Amino acid sequence: MSRLPLAGALKPLRRPRLWLGLWWLAVLAVVVLSLTPPPAMELPRHGDKLEHLLAYALLAAAAVQLFRPGRRLLAIGAGLVLMGVALEFAQGALTATRQADPADALANTVGVALGLLTALTPWRDALSRL
């Protein structure tokens, strides 16, 4: 069986391909949902900031479950922050139904930080225990 890319960075998991694939699928979902027209629904004022924070916190917390602590995990966190900033630029430049919002990029960044902080909790290895 061929080795997974980033295999040395992954925690010892049962079915690592499944978990890594699901994580990449979640990342792709965030990208697609960020660039497609928003659903027609009423949110409280600044409610979308909470959506941004939660989405990026979940992506980062899932990365904590998948990847060993260290530089690689921090690089993945930095990549998520850069993705959030790039998507905000893309919303302003590539879509007519979305607009770039620095506050969204900040919410994304705070979400990544909160997700990465789960590495300091006993839950950091919950997936390994499954």
Helix %, strand %, coil % of the chain (to 5): 70, 0, 25
pLDDT band at 1 (very low <50, low <70, confident <90, very high): very low
Of 4, 109, 128, 3, nearest in space to 68 by CA: 128
- What local confidence, expressed as pLDDT, does residue 33 receive? 94
User: Per-residue pLDDT for 40 more than 90?
Assistant: no
- What local confidence, expressed as pLDDT, does residue 4 receive? 60
Cα torsion 95, 101, 107, 109: sign: positive
User: Per-residue pLDDT for 100 more than 60?
Assistant: yes
